[in-house]
């Protein structure tokens, strides 16, 4: 076996679709086409060459190794917002089960580009684990109107995000703890146009069982029959006799008062 070619330091972008496996065959086919079109449009929109990206496809996403001249800053500050804009526009008129929403992980590190069955390198393993992290899955579940949820490694956050280049807002990123298989590391999450500061990132994400369902409409309360109220009985005093409510006095007497809300007149027996 020959010695491996010297590794190259690269920017890595891993992308994955939400709720891909529950789709039927036709929906998966359509989602793959939409994914490729959206990625190509977003990359071209910021002046990058998609053909220069070395990609490893996975059906519901891809691992992309960017060329040596690609900047981490361009990927975080330009590509991710462009991807979000394009995806929002393409999803606008689609049924909920046809929409595509993406998790995106960005990292950098040394990669061997001549592996026999992929791309050897710790950085490749780490970006893949970031993409599969529970906090990133929870981000799309928590914000159902979002199209993209982003997670970046510590090195990307420290070198790019925290300095606020090109309008990046570090306060829009939330630090989380990622634990996937044997990997445990700190990372930062951002959802474009959303405030992620109040999310409980320690809770496990729910399983991806299908397209997100709209909350049920509240059922109107059942109509209740009117409550019948009786008037308080009146008090009468005749010849020293006191009575509460309706009463009859004497033979062939006269009823005085009301019964169930109706006046009782004189009755001759």
* Cα–Cα distance measured from residue 47 to residue 71, given in angstroms and rounded to the nearest whole number: 12
- Total Cβ atoms within 10 A of residue 222: 5
**Res 87 pLDDT > 60:** yes
Q: What is the pTM of this model?
A: 0.75
Q: Which helix (H) or strand (E) holds 30?
A: helix 25-45
Give one word for 229, left, alpha or beta, with left for phi > 0 and alpha for psi -120 to 50: beta
Helix axes 25-45, 80-91, angle to 10 degrees: 130
* Cα–Cα distance measured from residue 86 to residue 147, given in angstroms and rounded to the nearest whole number: 9
For 176, counting Cβ atoms within 10 Å of its Cβ (0-12 exposed, 13-18 middle, 19+ buried), the class is buried
Range(s) within the chain of domains with CATH label 3.30.70.1230: 8-190
Percent of the chain residues topping a pLDDT of 70: 74
Residue carrying the six token digits 């729910």: 206
What's the pLDDT tens digit per position in 237-258?
A: 555 555 555 555 555 555 555 4
Higher-scoring residue by pLDDT: 231, 96 = 96
- Total Cβ atoms within 10 A of residue 27: 16
Higher-scoring residue by pLDDT: 264, 132 = 132
- Total Cβ atoms within 10 A of residue 80: 23
Nearest CA to 194 among 151, 140, 133? 140
What's the pLDDT tens digit per position in 121-138?
A: 999 999 999 999 999 999
Q: Which helix (H) or strand (E) holds 187?
A: strand 183-190
Residue range 137-162: mean pLDDT, rounded: 96
pLDDT, residue 180, reads: 87
**Res 231 pLDDT > 60:** no
* Cα–Cα distance measured from residue 67 to residue 113, given in angstroms and rounded to the nearest whole number: 11
Residue range 24-49: mean pLDDT, rounded: 95
* Structural class in CATH, domain 8-190: alpha beta
CB 122 within 8 A of CB 185: no
């Amino acid at each position: 076996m020959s010695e491996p070619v010297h590794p190259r330091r690269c920017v890595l972008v891993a992308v994955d679709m939400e709720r891909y496996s529950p789709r039927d065959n036709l929906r998966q086919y359509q989602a793959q086409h939409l994914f490729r079109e959206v990625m190509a449009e977003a990359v071209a929109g910021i002046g990058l060459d998609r053909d220069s990206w070395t990609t490893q496809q996975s059906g519901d996403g891809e691992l992309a190794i960017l060329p040596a001249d690609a900047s981490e800053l361009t990927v975080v500050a330009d590509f991710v917002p462009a991807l979000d804009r394009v995806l929002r526009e393409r999803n606008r008129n689609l049924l909920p089960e046809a929409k595509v929403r993406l998790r995106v992980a960005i990292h950098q590190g040394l990669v061997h580009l001549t592996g026999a069955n992929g791309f050897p390198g710790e950085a490749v393993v780490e970006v893949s684990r970031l993409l599969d992290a529970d906090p990133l899955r929870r981000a799309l579940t928590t914000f159902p109107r979002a199209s993209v949820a982003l997670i970046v490694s510590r090195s990307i956050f420290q070198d790019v995000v925290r300095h606020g280049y090109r309008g990046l807002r570090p306060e829009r990123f939330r630090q989380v703890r990622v634990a996937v298989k044997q990997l445990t590391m700190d990372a930062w999450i951002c959802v474009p146009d959303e405030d992620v500061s109040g999310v409980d990132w320690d809770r496990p994400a729910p399983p991806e069982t299908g397209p997100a369902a709209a909350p049920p409409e509240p059922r109107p309360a059942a109509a209740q029959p009117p409550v019948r109220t009786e008037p308080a009985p009146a008090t009468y005093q005749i010849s020293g006799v006191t009575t509460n409510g309706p009463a009859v006095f004497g033979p062939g007497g006269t009823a005085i008062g009301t019964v169930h809300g109706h006046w009782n007149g004189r009755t001759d027996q």
